Copies of this chain bind each other. A is one copy, B any other.
Amino acid sequence: MVGNRSRRTEIDEREFHAWLARTFPSGHGGLLPLGDDAAALRPPPGRVAVLTTDALVEGTHFLRRSPPARVGAAAAAVNLSDLAAKGATPAALLFALVIPPGTPRAWAEAVSRGGERLAARYRAHLVGGDTKPGPVRAVVGLALGWGRPNRLAPRSGARAGDLLATTGVVGRGGLAAAHLRAKGRPARHVLCELLDVRPRLVEGRALARWATAMLDTSDGVADACRLLAQASGVHVVVEERRLPLAPGLAALARTPADRRALAFFGGDYELLLALRPRDFPRAERAVRARGGRLTRIGRIEAGRGAWLESNGRTIPMPPAGWQPFERTSGRSR
């Protein structure tokens, strides 16, 4: 994992590695000390490796003044959310940090601590880190989990006759972004809220048993429906009245269009899945037994595309867009 060093950043990669190795004791399932060329993990019997990468970039997903521990936690969480969507159990997290000259080492340390703390909540650990010089800060996360080979719930698995369901509530990301826009300049607690992603790992593992297709709603329910429709070659219908809107969302929206813009804005990181109608009651109970929530929000039919059923009319799914800082500033602060 050691790459090309630069003198242009105040964080020396070697010192950072040494700090990582001191701070995060190995033996968390890793077979090599942290800071080696690679991390090594033993697969549990009968499981398959599930692998994902997702990055948070300064100016797009966080600001320079965002609390770095929260940025690290969010970078870990968005990767674990992808593992959740495949019903996998997380095992290991790696961070590749892109760091501009003059960045204090405390930033990289706090990002790493935040990532480790979040991962540890789900019994996964930071097993590797890397730094590169670059013009803005970025945290590229990489997560390895272990899944069951026949329960990976591929996006392409939805079939006509399935129900459509979601965990949690819809529009949490949109609501946070609305607060941010209302203030002109994002307040610290709003930034924290935007970065507060809770990966649905417990729910994902339970649901993989029944899900014919599953994915996370990182870009919102509408967008996830489009992806599901495309990958499975089906017609996805969301019944608007069934949507479990985030508390406070309905009160904030003056028109149905407002409500949709908030609901479908993105950044929810819930799980969207298709499943057989006969399996829904058991799936719902299983999620509820684990402290979660599963709501039927629509259905899968033969055909193509993603659609919204609202007051008896079926309209094309409205667009979604997750760009929290675009409207407040073109530059990172």
Query: If A40-B48, A155-B33 touch, does A55 touch B5 (CB 8 Å cutoff)?
Result: no
Partner of A227, one of B2, B7, B51: B2
Which A1-32 residues sit within 8 Å CB-CB of chain B?
1-8, 14, 18, 31-32
Which A32-62 residues sit within 8 Å CB-CB of chain B?
Answer: 32-33, 35-43, 47-55, 57, 59-61
Contact A78 B3 (CB under 8 A): yes
Q: Is the CB of B267 within 8 A of A4?
A: yes
Contact A152 B40 (CB under 8 A): yes
Chain B's nearest CB lies how many Å from the CB of A51?
5
**A contacts with B, residue count (CB < 8 A):** 79
Q: Given A152-B31, A227-B14, are A48 and B41 neighbors across the interface (CB < 8 Å)?
A: yes
Please name all residues of chain B whose beta carbon is closer than 8 Å to the beta carbon of A1 when the two chains form the complex.
52-54, 82
| Cβ-based interface call for A266 (8 A) | yes
How far is A60 from B131 in the complex, measured between Cα atoms in Å?
13
Residues of chain B with a CB closer than 8 A to A50's CB: 38-40
Q: How far is the CB of A47 from chain B (nearest CB, A)?
A: 8
Q: Which of B47, B88, B152, B218 contacts A4 (CB 8 A)?
A: B218
Distance (Å) between the CB of A103 and the closest chain B CB?
A: 14
A204 nearest in chain B by CB position:
B37
Shortest CB-to-CB span from A314 to chain B, Å, is: 23
Measured in the bound complex, the distance between the Cα atoms of B230 and A49 in whole Å is 32
Q: CA A92 – CA B94 in complex, angstroms?
A: 16
Give the 5 A-B CB pairs with smallest separation, nearest first: A38-B52, A37-B85, A43-B43, A37-B82, A3-B54
Kindly report how many copies of this chain are found in the complex they form together. 2
Residue A107 at the B interface, CB < 8 A?
no
- The stretch that binds B, out of A137-145, A164-172, A301-309, is A137-145
How close is A45's CB to chain B, nearest CB, in angstroms?
A: 10
Contact B326 A55 (CB under 8 A): no
- Min CB gap A19→B, angstroms: 13
Residues on B with beta carbons closer than 8 Å to the beta carbon of A47? 43
Q: What is the distance, in angstroms, from A160's C-beta to the closest C-beta of chain B?
A: 19
Closest to A78 in B: B3
User: Could you tell me if B31 and A149 are in contact, using CB atoms closer than 8 angstroms?
Assistant: yes
Say whether A218 contacts B3, CB under 8 Å: yes
